[in-house]
Structure 1
Amino acid sequence: MDGSDDDDVPQLSAHTLAALQEFYAEQEQQESTKSGPDYDHFSVGAVEEDWQLSQFWYDNETALCLAKEALEASGENGRIACVSAPSIYQKLKGLAGDDTSICLLEYDRRFSVYGDDFIFYDYNNPLDLPDRLQPHSCDIVLADPPYLSEECLTKTAETIRYLTKGKILLCTGAVMEDLVTKILGLKVCKFIPRHTRSLANEFRCYSNYETGLDS
Structure 2
Amino acid sequence: MDNNDETTLPADTLAILNEFLAERSQREHAEEQRQINKTGKDAHFEEDWQLSQFWYSEQTKRTIGNAVEKILAEQSNDDFRIALLSCPSLYATIKNLHDKVNIFEYDQRFAAYGNDFVHYDFNAIDSSSEYLKDHHKCFDLIIADPPFLSEECMSKMSRIVISLQRSSKSKLVFCSGEVVEPWLVASLPVHRCRFRPEHERNLGNEFVSYANFNFDHYIDK
Interval containing the TM-score (normalised by the shorter chain): 0.7 to 0.9
In the TM superposition, what is the alpha-carbon distance from 1:41 to its structure 2 partner?
5.2
Could you report, residue by residue, the CA deviation over 1:123-159 in whole angstroms, capped at 9, with x for unpaired residues? 101352152x1x3211111100000001011101111
Q: TM-score, normalised by structure 2?
A: 0.73
Q: What does 1:186-205 correspond to in 2, within 5 Å?
A: 186-205=190-209
Compare 203-212 and 39-48 and name the one that shifted more. 39-48
Alpha-carbon separation, structure 2, partners of 1:206 and 1:41? 27
Shift of 1:175: 1.1
Larger fraction in helix: 2
- Secondary structure of the residue that 2:118 maps to in structure 1? strand
Partner of residue 108, structure 1: 107
Where 2:122 maps in the other structure, the secondary structure is: coil
The question of whether the paired residues in 2 share the 8 Å contact of 1:70 and 1:80 is answered with no
Gaps of 5+ in 2: 1-30
State the partner residue of 1:55.
Answer: 53
- Asked whether 1:213 is paired with 2:212, we answer no
Separation in 1 of the partners of 2:35 and 2:118? 27
**Counterparts of 1:130 and 1:63, CA distance in 2:** 29
Alpha-carbon separation, structure 1, partners of 2:117 and 2:138:
16
Alpha-carbon RMSD across the aligned residues, in angstroms, is: 2.2
Aligned residue in 2 for 1:119:
118
Return the alpha-carbon distance in structure 2 between the equivalents of residues 163 and 82 of structure 1.
11
Paired residues in the alignment total 176
Give the distance between the partners of 1:73 and 1:105, measured in 2 at CA.
Answer: 21
Q: Does 2:131 correspond to 1:128?
A: yes
Match of 1:178 in 2: 182
User: How many angstroms does 1:167 deviate by?
Assistant: 1.3
Whole-angstrom CA distance in 1 between matches of 2:153 and 2:183:
11
How far apart are residue 198 of structure 1 and its match?
0.2
CA distance in 2, matches of 1:71, 1:158: 27
Residues of 1 paired with 2:187 and 2:91: CA distance?
25
Task: Please list every run of 5 or more consecutive structure 1 residues that lacks an aligned counterpart in the other structure.
Answer: 1-33
How many angstroms does 1:177 deviate by? Answer: 1.4
SS in 2 for 1:169: strand
How big is the shift at 1:71?
4.1
Q: 1:41 to 1:59 in 2, by over 3 A?
A: closer
Contact 1:67 1:89 in 2 (8 A): no
Give the TM-score taking structure 1 as reference length: 0.75
Kindly indicate whether the alpha-carbon contact (under 8 Å) linking 1:181 and 1:187 is maintained by their aligned counterparts in 2: yes
For residues 213 and 181 of structure 1, what CA distance do their matches in structure 2 show?
Answer: 21
Q: Which amino acid aligns with 1:56?
A: F
Q: 1:72 — aligned with what?
A: 70
